[in-house]
A and B are shown apart, each in its own frame.
Chain A
Amino acid sequence: MPHLSLPFLAQLATFKLRVKTLAQGILTGLHNSPLQGQSVEFSEHKEYAPGDELCHLDWKVLGKLDRYFIKRFEHEANMPFVLLVDTSGSMGYGEETYNKLEVAKVLAGAFAWVASKQQDAVGLLSFSQEKPQLLRPKAHANHLSLILSQLQSLKAQGETHLGAALETLSAQLRRRAVLLVFSDLLDENPNMLSQLLKLRTQKYELALFHILHSDELNFPFEEPTLFLSMEDERRLEIHPLRLRQSYLQHMQHFLKNTRSQCQTANVDYALVPTHNPLEPVLLQFFAQRKRGRRK
Chain B
Amino acid sequence: MSLLFSQPWMLLGLAAATLPFLVYLFFRLKPKPRPFGPMGLLLKSLQHTASLWKLRRLLIYALRSLLLAALALALARPWLDKTTTTPTTMQGEAATVLVLDASFSMRYALGKQTALEVAKNQALQAIEALSATEPLAVVLCDGTQTIPPPPLSQDKAFWKRLVQEALPSFLPARLNPCMETAAQLLEENPLEAKRLLIFSDFARHALLMSAPPPQIKNPKGEMQLPHVALYPVYAGKEPPQNRALLSMEVENTTEAGLFNFMATVQNFSPTPQKDLELQLRLKGQTLAKGFVDLDAHGSTRKTLSVRLPNNETGHEVEMRLAPDGLAEDDAQTLWLRPQKNAHILLVDGAPSADRQADEAYFVELALAQLAQTQVRVRDSQAAWRENLSAYGAVFLLNVEAPPAEAAAALKAFVEAGGGLWASLGDNTQLQAWNQAMGELLPRPLRWLKGSSEELPNTTSPFAKISHVQNLHPILQPFAGEGLESLLSARFFRHALMEAHTQNPQPMEVLLRLEDGAPLLVAHQLGKGHVLSFMSTADRDWNDLPLHTAFLPLIQRSAQWLSGNLLNTEVPTTTLGNSLRLAAPQNAYVGPHGEVVEPEAQGPEFVKLGPLNTPGLWWPQGRAEEAMPLLVKRLPQESDLALLDMEELNAWFGNSHIAQSHSTRQYPLWTALLLLALLAFCAEMLLLKP
Pick the residue among A184, A228, A249, A250 that contacts B34 (CB under 8 A). A228
Check if A221 sits within 8 Å of B41, measured CB to CB: no
Pick the residue among B29, B36, B48, B49 that contacts A228 (CB under 8 A). B36
- Chain B nearest CB from A265 CB (Å) reads 22
Q: A236-B43, A241-B689 are in contact. Are A226 and B49 (CB under 8 A)?
A: no
Q: Does B46 contact A (CB under 8 A)?
A: yes
Q: A223-B32, A226-B31, A250-B44 are in contact. Are A186 and B49 (CB under 8 A)?
A: no
Pick the residue among A188, A226, A239, A241 that contacts B40 (CB under 8 A). A188
Tell me the dominant secondary structure on chain B's binding face: helix
Chain A residues, Cβ within 8 Å of B46: 236, 238, 243, 246
Q: Does B456 contact A (CB under 8 A)?
A: no
Q: Does B603 contact A (CB under 8 A)?
A: no
Which of A187, A228, A236 counts the most chain B CB atoms within 10 A? Answer: A236
Contact with A along B570-595 (1 / 0, CB 8 A): 00000000000000000000000000
Check if A236 sits within 8 Å of B39, measured CB to CB: yes
Chain A residues, Cβ within 8 Å of B45: 243, 246-247, 249-250
Q: Does B37 contact A (CB under 8 A)?
A: yes
Q: A224-B31, A243-B46 are in contact. Are A230 and B41 (CB under 8 A)?
A: no
Contact with A along B32-76 (1 / 0, CB 8 A): 111111111111111011000100100000000000000000000
Q: Does A259 contact B (CB under 8 A)?
A: no
Q: Does A227 contact B (CB under 8 A)?
A: yes
Contact with B along A243-283 (1 / 0, CB 8 A): 11111011100100000000000000000000000000000
Check if A229 sits within 8 Å of B36, measured CB to CB: yes
Check if B33 sits within 8 Å of A186, measured CB to CB: no
- Chain A nearest CB from B49 CB (Å) reads 5
Kindly report which residue of chain A lies nearest to residue B32, judged by CB atoms: A225
Check if A242 sits within 8 Å of B689, measured CB to CB: yes
Tell me, in angstroms, the Cα distance from A93 to B39 when the chains sit together. Answer: 12
- Chain A nearest CB from B688 CB (Å) reads 9
Tell me, in angstroms, the Cα distance from A230 to B44 when the chains sit together. Answer: 17
Which of B32, B34, B56 counts the most chain A CB atoms within 10 A? Answer: B34
Chain B residues, Cβ within 8 Å of A92: 35
Q: A244-B689, A246-B45 are in contact. Are A229 and B39 (CB under 8 A)?
A: yes
Tell me, in angstroms, the Cα distance from A279 to B202 when the chains sit together. Answer: 98
Kindly report which residue of chain A lies nearest to residue B53, judged by CB atoms: A242
Kindly report which residue of chain B lies nearest to residue A237, judged by CB atoms: B31
Q: Does A128 contact B (CB under 8 A)?
A: no
Q: Does A87 contact B (CB under 8 A)?
A: no
- Chain B nearest CB from A25 CB (Å) reads 28
Chain A residues, Cβ within 8 Å of B32: 223-226
Q: A243-B42, A251-B41 are in contact. Are A93 and B49 (CB under 8 A)?
A: no
Tell me, in angstroms, the Cα distance from A254 to B38 when the chains sit together. Answer: 11
Check if A226 sits within 8 Å of B33, measured CB to CB: yes
Tell me, in angstroms, the Cα distance from A245 to B43 when the chains sit together. Answer: 13
* Chain A, 106-151, CB within 8 A of any chain B CB: none
Check if A186 sits within 8 Å of B31, measured CB to CB: no
Chain B residues, Cβ within 8 Å of A186: 37-38, 40-41
Chain A residues, Cβ within 8 Å of B689: 241-242, 244-245
- Chain A nearest CB from B47 CB (Å) reads 9
Check if B38 sits within 8 Å of A251, measured CB to CB: yes
Q: Does A295 contact B (CB under 8 A)?
A: no
Tell me, in angstroms, the Cα distance from A213 to B36 when the chains sit together. Answer: 10
- Chain B nearest CB from A159 CB (Å) reads 12
Chain A residues, Cβ within 8 Å of B48: 246
Chain A residues, Cβ within 8 Å of B38: 90, 186, 216, 251
- Chain B nearest CB from A229 CB (Å) reads 4
Q: Please count how many residues in chain A sit with their CB below 8 Å of the partner chain's CB atoms.
A: 38
- Chain B nearest CB from A67 CB (Å) reads 66
- Chain A nearest CB from B105 CB (Å) reads 62
Contact with A along B8-34 (1 / 0, CB 8 A): 000000000000000000000101111
Contact with A along B444-462 (1 / 0, CB 8 A): 0000000000000000000
Q: Does A234 contact B (CB under 8 A)?
A: yes
Chain A residues, Cβ within 8 Å of B35: 92-93, 227-230
Tell me, in angstroms, the Cα distance from A228 to B42 when the chains sit together. Answer: 11
Check if B34 sits within 8 Å of A221, measured CB to CB: yes
Tell me, in angstroms, the Cα distance from A271 to B683 when the chains sit together. Answer: 40
Check if B33 sits within 8 Å of A243, measured CB to CB: no
Tell me, in angstroms, the Cα distance from A225 to B46 when the chains sit together. Answer: 14
Check if B36 sits within 8 Å of A93, measured CB to CB: yes
Kindly report which residue of chain B lies nearest to residue A248, judged by CB atoms: B45
Check if B43 sits within 8 Å of A228, measured CB to CB: no
Chain A residues, Cβ within 8 Å of B33: 225-226, 228
Check if A226 sits within 8 Å of B34, measured CB to CB: yes
Tell me, in angstroms, the Cα distance from A237 to B33 when the chains sit together. Answer: 9
Tell me, in angstroms, the Cα distance from A215 to B38 when the chains sit together. Answer: 10
Which of B37, B46, B48 counts the most chain A CB atoms within 10 A? Answer: B37
- Chain A nearest CB from B449 CB (Å) reads 106
- Chain A nearest CB from B121 CB (Å) reads 53
Check if A227 sits within 8 Å of B34, measured CB to CB: yes
Check if B39 sits within 8 Å of A234, measured CB to CB: yes
Chain B residues, Cβ within 8 Å of A241: 689
Pick the residue among B31, B37, B53, B56 that contacts A225 (CB under 8 A). B31
- Chain B nearest CB from A1 CB (Å) reads 31
Check if B41 sits within 8 Å of A254, measured CB to CB: yes
Check if B41 sits within 8 Å of A250, measured CB to CB: yes
Chain B residues, Cβ within 8 Å of A254: 41
Tell me, in angstroms, the Cα distance from A237 to B689 when the chains sit together. Answer: 17
Kindly report which residue of chain B lies nearest to residue A90, judged by CB atoms: B37
Kindly report which residue of chain B lies nearest to residue A222, judged by CB atoms: B689
Chain A residues, Cβ within 8 Å of B41: 186, 247, 250-251, 254
Pick the residue among A213, A224, A236, A244 that contacts B29 (CB under 8 A). A224
Check if A234 sits within 8 Å of B43, measured CB to CB: yes
Kindly report which residue of chain B lies nearest to residue A156, judged by CB atoms: B37
- Chain B nearest CB from A204 CB (Å) reads 27
Tell me, in angstroms, the Cα distance from A93 to B36 when the chains sit together. Answer: 7
Kindly report which residue of chain A lies nearest to residue B47, judged by CB atoms: A246
Kindly report which residue of chain A lies nearest to residue B39, judged by CB atoms: A229
Chain B residues, Cβ within 8 Å of A246: 45-46, 48-49
Pick the residue among A223, A236, A239 that contacts B42 (CB under 8 A). A236
Tell me, in angstroms, the Cα distance from A244 to B35 when the chains sit together. Answer: 17
Kindly report which residue of chain B lies nearest to residue A100, judged by CB atoms: B37
Kindly report which residue of chain B lies nearest to residue A230, judged by CB atoms: B35
Chain B residues, Cβ within 8 Å of A231: 39
- Chain A nearest CB from B149 CB (Å) reads 73
Tell me, in angstroms, the Cα distance from A234 to B33 when the chains sit together. Answer: 12
Tell me, in angstroms, the Cα distance from A275 to B35 when the chains sit together. Answer: 19
- Chain A nearest CB from B287 CB (Å) reads 62
Chain A residues, Cβ within 8 Å of B31: 223-226, 237
Contact with B along A180-195 (1 / 0, CB 8 A): 0000101110000000
Chain B residues, Cβ within 8 Å of A230: 35-37, 39
Contact with A along B481-515 (1 / 0, CB 8 A): 00000000000000000000000000000000000
Kindly report which residue of chain B lies nearest to residue A227, judged by CB atoms: B36
Tell me, in angstroms, the Cα distance from A226 to B28 when the chains sit together. Answer: 14
Tell me, in angstroms, the Cα distance from A100 to B37 when the chains sit together. Answer: 10
Tell me, in angstroms, the Cα distance from A247 to B36 when the chains sit together. Answer: 13
Beyond A186-B37, A236-B43, A247-B41, 13 extra complex contacts between A and B, CB < 8 Å:
A93-B37, A215-B36, A216-B36, A227-B34, A227-B42, A229-B35, A237-B31, A239-B53, A242-B49, A243-B46, A243-B53, A246-B48, A250-B45
Please name 20 pairs of A and B residues whose Cβ atoms are closer than 8 Å in the assembled complex, sorted by A.
A91-B37, A213-B37, A215-B36, A225-B34, A226-B31, A226-B32, A228-B34, A228-B36, A229-B35, A229-B36, A230-B37, A230-B39, A231-B39, A236-B39, A236-B42, A243-B53, A246-B49, A247-B41, A247-B45, A250-B41
A: residues with CB less than 8 A from B are 90-93, 100, 184, 186-188, 213, 215-216, 221, 223-231, 234, 236-239, 241-247, 249-251, 254
- What 9 A-B pairs are tightest by C-beta distance, nearest first? A90-B37, A246-B45, A241-B689, A224-B31, A229-B39, A247-B45, A226-B31, A93-B37, A226-B33
B: residues with CB less than 8 A from A are 29, 31-46, 48-49, 53, 56, 689
